[in-house]
Amino acid sequence: MDKHKYSKKTITKLKRLSSLPVVRALAALCFVVFIGMIFNADGAFFKWDTHRDMLRHISVFGILACGMTLVIITAGIDLSVGSILGLTAVLFSLFSIHLGWSPFFAILVCLLAGLGCGLTSGFIIDRFKIQPFIATLAMMVFARGLAKWVSGGQKISTAVLQPDGTYKYVEAPKIFNFINSKIFNENMAVVTLIFLGSILICWVILSKLRWGRHIYAVGGNEEASKLSGIPVTATKLLVYGASGFFCAIAGICQASQEIQGDPEAGMTYELTAIAIVVIGGTNLMGGTGGIGLTLIGAMTIGYLEKVLSINAVGEASRLMLTGVIIVGAVLFQKYRK
Partner 1 sequence: MTHIEKSFSGIRVLDNVSFDLKKGEVHVLAGENGAGKTTLIKIISGVHTNFKGDIFLNGRSVHFLSPSHAARYGISAIYQEMSLVNSMSVRDNIFLGREITNSWGQLDFNKENEISHEILDRLGIDIDLARPVGFYPLSIKQLIEIAKALVFKSNIIIMDEPTSALNSVETTYLFKIIKDLKEKGRGIIFISHRLEEIYRIADRISVLRDGKYIGTDQVDKLPSHNLVKWMVGRELKEQFPERKSHKKNKTLLSVKNISLNSPNKEHKFKEANISFKIHSGEILGIAGLQGSGKSLLLNTLFGTYGKVNKGKIILEGQNYSVKSPKKSIHMGLVLLTNDRKKTGIISDMSVKENMTLACLEKFIKLGWIQKKKEQRIVRKNFDFLNIKAVSIDQLISNLSGGNQQKVVLAKWFMTQPKVLLLDEPTIGVDVGAKHEIYKFMNNWSRQGIGQILITSELPELLALSDRIIVLHRGSITAEFKRKEATQEKILQAAMGE
Site for partner 1 in 193-212 (CB under 8 A): 208-211
Per rule CB under 8 A, is residue 217 in the interface with partner 1? yes
- Non-local CB neighbours of 192 within 8 Å, separated by 6+ positions: 52, 55, 56, 59
Cβ burial 137-173 (10 Å sphere, 16+ → b, else e): bbbbebbbebbbebbeeebbbbeeeeeeeeeeeeebb
Site for partner 1 in 15-34 (CB under 8 A): 15
How many residues contact partner 1, by CB under 8 A?
24
Alpha carbon distance 81, 71 (integer Å): 11
| H helices present in 19-102, as ranges | 21-38, 48-73, 81-93
Among 228, 284, 319, 328, binds partner 1 (CB under 8 A): 228
Per rule CB under 8 A, is residue 224 in the interface with partner 1? yes
Among 166, 223, 268, 335, binds partner 1 (CB under 8 A): 223
Per rule CB under 8 A, is residue 309 in the interface with partner 1? no
Task: Pick between residue 15 and residue 174 the one whose CB is nearest to partner 1.
Answer: 15
CA dihedral sign, ordered 64, 69, 72, 76: negative
Contact 250, 179 (CB under 8 A): no
- Helix (H/G/I), strand (E/B), else coil: 286: coil
Alpha carbon distance 195, 73 (integer Å): 19
Per rule CB under 8 A, is residue 225 in the interface with partner 1? yes
Per rule CB under 8 A, is residue 230 in the interface with partner 1? yes
Alpha carbon distance 71, 11 (integer Å): 36
Among 231, 258, 271, 318, binds partner 1 (CB under 8 A): 231
Per rule CB under 8 A, is residue 221 in the interface with partner 1? yes
- Non-local CB neighbours of 203 within 8 Å, separated by 6+ positions: 291, 292
Among 148, 155, 182, 213, binds partner 1 (CB under 8 A): 213
Using the rule CB under 8 A, give the single segment among 106-114, 190-198, 214-222, 311-319 that binds partner 1. Answer: 214-222
CB of 231 to partner 1, least distance (A): 7
Site string for partner 1, 244-283 (x = CB under 8 A): ----------------------------------------
Q: Which residues form the interface with partner 1 (CB under 8 A)?
A: 12, 15, 208-211, 213, 216-217, 219-221, 223-231, 287-288, 337
